[in-house]
Structure 1
Amino acid sequence: MKLFLQRACLLLIVLLAGCSNQTQTPTVGPTLQAEPSPTQAEAAATATTTEATAVVGAPQVPLVAAFDDQTSPIKLFGSLVNALNRQEYERAYSYWASPPGGIDQAGFNASFFGIDAVVGLVTAPMVNANQTEARMAGIVLLGMKDGGARADTACYVATRADVNSPWRLSSSKSMPTSSNDVLGVLDQQARECGTPLAQLPLSTQTTIPEVLFSYYAALAQGDSAKTAETWVEGTLPNVPDKLRQSKQLSVYVNVNPVETAAAAFLQTIVLADTNALWVGCYGASKQAEVWRLNSGYLQDSGPTTVLIQTLTQGCDI
C-alpha cells in the first residue's frame, strides 16, 4: 500500500511541476498539524489495496477491490478510477454517456496502454436543482510502467435522466495548464466546476470523502459546532492561521480512499486565496454509519512546488 501511495504522490509532483515549468528543487514546508494514531498502522496492513503478484506473460494489475457505484457523482468518478486501476476498460468506458472526443471502445482501451497506476481527486460537485446534472473539478494521475507519467486536470460533467437513474459522465473540459501559476490554475478550475465550500450544504458524513468536504466547508462557513462534529471527540487539531484567514478555500479529495471495515485514509489538496497550497492526509473512523476524522496533518508548500513525502508517511500512521 505504501508503495502505491508513494507512486501516486510522485505522479502528483510530476503533474504540478510540469504545470509550473519550474526547475528549482521543491522544499518541504513545516508540518502544520499532526496527530498520529498507532492503531492506523494495523489498519493499513489489512487494507484491501495491495501490490499484484507477478504473472508470467501478463501485465501486473494492482489488486484493488472492485468498486462499482453510480448513485452519486463522486462515487461515479471513484468507480471510473477504480475500473482503470483494475484495467477493466470496458467497465470504465461504460461510465461515459458521451465518451471524450467520441472515442470508441478500442481507442479508449489503447489510450491506457502501459498504465499501471491511476489516482483521482475531485472537488465537491455542483448539482442542479433537478438533481440531474453535476459539475466537479478533477485531477487524474496516470503512472506508466516505464516510470513516466501522464496527468490531466479537467471539469467533469455527470448527468442522469432522473433521480432514480444512475449517474454517467457526459463530458470533460480540460483547463489550460501552461501557466506558471499552478495554484491559480487549480483554484480557477475548482471555482468554475465545483460547489464553493462557503456554499456547500453541510453533510451527514455517510461517505468517506463527504466527511472531509464537511470539515473544510464548516471551516469556510465559520461553523465551529459542525467543525467539531466532523472529528472524533477530543481529536480536533489546531487550524493553521493561513487557513483561518482565507476567504476562499478549494479542496480536492481522493475519490478512492484506503478503507477497512471501520477505518480509512484520505488524501487531499487544499488551496487558499492567501497564496497557499497544502497537501494533507487524514485518518477517519466510522461509528453508527457516520464517518469522522480522527487524525491528520497538512503539509505547507509553495504555490508552484509540491513535495508529498510527508503525505505518504502520514498515510501510514
Structure 2
Amino acid sequence: MKVFLRRGWLLALLVLAACANQVPAPTVGVTLQPEASPTQALAAASPTTSAATPAAASPTASESTPADTLPQPNAFDDQTTPVKLFRSLVNALNRGEYERAYSYWATPPGGIDQGGFSASFFGIDLVVGLVTAPTYNTSQTEARMAGIVLLGMSDGGARADTACYLATRADVNSPWQLSSSNSMPTTTNDVLGVLDQQARECGTPLEQLALTQQTTIPEVLFGYYAGLAQADQAKTAETWVEGTLPTVPDNLRQSNQLSVYVNVTPVETEAAAFLQTIILADTKAMWVGCYGASQQADTWRLNSGYLQASSPATVLIQTLTQGCDI
C-alpha cells in the first residue's frame, strides 16, 4: 500500500538539526523554523520483508501527487483517550474545521480566541501529528505526552513544532481536552537529544510502559517497542501476527533507552492499516519505521514492516513524505 503526502515539507524535521531559531506559534507551541524550503517528493521507499533485517530504502523514479487531487480525510471525532483527542485535533485541522479544532482546547494556547486560532492556520494545507505514549496521574484525569506537529504550507514552506501536551478531564466519564502545550527550549543543535528528552519527560518511558492489550492502532506500536525496551520476548511476539515477527537490528536491541513517536493518523482500509513511527535511541541514533497492521476482533497486531536509519537525511524525507510501501 503506497500513500503519497502533499509536499516534501517533512524536510523541516531534518533541518532542525542545523537550526536553533524559534518563532512563536500560538496554536501548537514554539515553532522551530527551517532555513531551507522543502524538496519535492523524490522516490518511494523499497521495503524489506517482515522477516528480514530492516534495510535502507532504495530510491526509484520520482513521482508526486498534486495537493488538489488528494481526497479530504474522513471526519474523526473521539475524545475518549488523549491520543485519540490529538488525532481528532489533527483531523479537524486537515479538514479546515477550525471551530471543531478549537473546541478540543479547554485552555486555548496563549489565550487566543476562535478568530485568532483559525487565522493562525492561514496558508497551511497539511498537518501531521506524532505523539508518545501518555503518562497519567493516579486519578486518570491528567495525561502528559510529547508531540511533534508538522505543518505543510500551501506556498511550499514548512515548519515543525515540538512540545509537551497536557490533556485533562473532569472525571473518568468525561471527555479529554487539551489544557496546555509547552515547548522545550532548543538552545543547541542537538535536536535528536531534545526530542528524546522531551519524550522521556512528557510521556511514559517505554521501559515503564504497562504492556496492555492493543485495542487501537497506535497502541500496538507502543506495545511492540515497550516489549523490546523491557526485553519481554513474549509481549514483543504478542504484538505481531504469528510467524511475522521481524529481526531487530543489534544497535536498536542494545540501546538502553528507546523513545517512540507514533503518527496518530494511521491509513486504514477496513480491518487493515499502515502507520509510521520515529524511533530514537540513547546512542543519538534515529530510525523511521513503516508498519502494516491487521485487526482480529478488537485486537490489532503488526504483520509487516521495516526500519530505516535517518542518515542520510533523504531516507527519512523519502519515507515520511511519500508514505510506506509494505
Instruction: Judge same fold: TM > 0.5, yes or no.
Output: yes
Displacement after TM superposition at 1:96 (Å)? 0.1
Q: Is the 8 A contact 1:51 1:63 kept in 2?
A: no
Q: Is the 8 A contact 1:160 1:168 kept in 2?
A: yes
**Equivalent runs, 1:87-98 vs 2, <5 Å:** 87-98=96-107
Displacement after TM superposition at 1:260 (Å)? 1.3
**Equivalent runs, 1:33-44 vs 2, <5 Å:** 34-35=48-49
- Cross-structure match for 2:278: 269
Displacement after TM superposition at 1:280 (Å)? 1.1
**Equivalent runs, 1:17-96 vs 2, <5 Å:** 17-21=15-19, 34-35=48-49, 62-96=71-105
Displacement after TM superposition at 1:33 (Å)? 7.7
Q: Is the 8 A contact 1:135 1:194 kept in 2?
A: yes
Displacement after TM superposition at 1:178 (Å)? 3.9
Cα deviation digits, residues 252-294 of structure 1 (max 9, x gap): 0000010111111111000001221101111100011110001
- For the pair 1:225 / 2:234, whether they are aligned, the reply is yes
Distance in 1 (alpha carbons) for counterparts of 2:126 and 2:320: 18
Distance in 1 (alpha carbons) for counterparts of 2:79 and 2:216: 14
- For the pair 1:241 / 2:250, whether they are aligned, the reply is yes
- Cross-structure match for 1:142: 151
The residue type paired with residue 83 of structure 1 is A
- Cross-structure match for 1:108: 117
The residue type paired with residue 113 of structure 2 is D
The residue type paired with residue 131 of structure 1 is Q
Percent of aligned pairs sharing the same letter? 76
**Equivalent runs, 1:274-289 vs 2, <5 Å:** 274-289=283-298
Q: Is the 8 A contact 1:93 1:108 kept in 2?
A: yes
Distance in 2 (alpha carbons) for counterparts of 1:315 and 1:203: 26
**Equivalent runs, 1:198-213 vs 2, <5 Å:** 198-213=207-222
Give the stretch that moved more between structures: 11-20 or 293-302.
11-20
Q: Is the 8 A contact 1:16 1:305 kept in 2?
A: no
Distance in 2 (alpha carbons) for counterparts of 1:233 and 1:36: 12
Going by fraction, where is helix more abundant, 1 or 2? 1
The residue type paired with residue 11 of structure 2 is I
- For the pair 1:13 / 2:27, whether they are aligned, the reply is no
Task: Name the SS for the 2:9 alignment partner.
Answer: helix
Q: Is the 8 A contact 1:33 1:238 kept in 2?
A: no
Displacement after TM superposition at 1:20 (Å)? 2.6
CA gap of 1:62–1:144, structure 2 versus 1, over 3 A, is farther
CA gap of 1:179–1:303, structure 2 versus 1, over 3 A, is farther
Aligned residues: 291
**Equivalent runs, 1:290-309 vs 2, <5 Å:** 290-302=299-311, 307-309=316-318
Q: Is the 8 A contact 1:62 1:85 kept in 2?
A: no
CA gap of 1:282–1:17, structure 2 versus 1, over 3 A, is same
Select which of 263, 269, 274 maps to 1:260: 269
The residue type paired with residue 4 of structure 2 is L
Distance in 2 (alpha carbons) for counterparts of 1:158 and 1:264: 26
Distance in 2 (alpha carbons) for counterparts of 1:62 and 1:174: 32
Q: Is the 8 A contact 2:4 2:322 kept in 1?
A: no
Task: Name the SS for the 1:120 alignment partner.
Answer: strand
The residue type paired with residue 15 of structure 1 is L
| Residue segments in structure 2 that go unaligned for 5+ positions in a row | 20-33, 37-44, 52-64
Select which of 157, 160, 167 maps to 2:166: 157
Displacement after TM superposition at 1:176 (Å)? 1.9
Q: Is the 8 A contact 1:118 1:143 kept in 2?
A: yes
Distance in 2 (alpha carbons) for counterparts of 1:292 and 1:242: 24
Cα deviation digits, residues 83-106 of structure 1 (max 9, x gap): 000010000000000000000000
Displacement after TM superposition at 1:181 (Å)? 1.1
The TM-score with structure 1 as length reference comes to 0.85
Distance in 2 (alpha carbons) for counterparts of 1:2 and 1:32: 13
| Residue segments in structure 1 that go unaligned for 5+ positions in a row | 25-30, 38-49, 55-60
CA gap of 1:173–1:303, structure 2 versus 1, over 3 A, is farther
Q: Which aligned segments of 4 or more residues in structure 1 are displaced greater than 6 angstroms? A: 303-306
The residue type paired with residue 157 of structure 1 is L
Distance in 2 (alpha carbons) for counterparts of 1:52 and 1:307: 21
CA gap of 1:36–1:285, structure 2 versus 1, over 3 A, is same
Distance in 1 (alpha carbons) for counterparts of 2:118 and 2:82: 23
- For the pair 1:125 / 2:126, whether they are aligned, the reply is no
Distance in 2 (alpha carbons) for counterparts of 1:15 and 1:230: 29
Distance in 2 (alpha carbons) for counterparts of 1:85 and 1:310: 20
The TM-score with structure 2 as length reference comes to 0.83
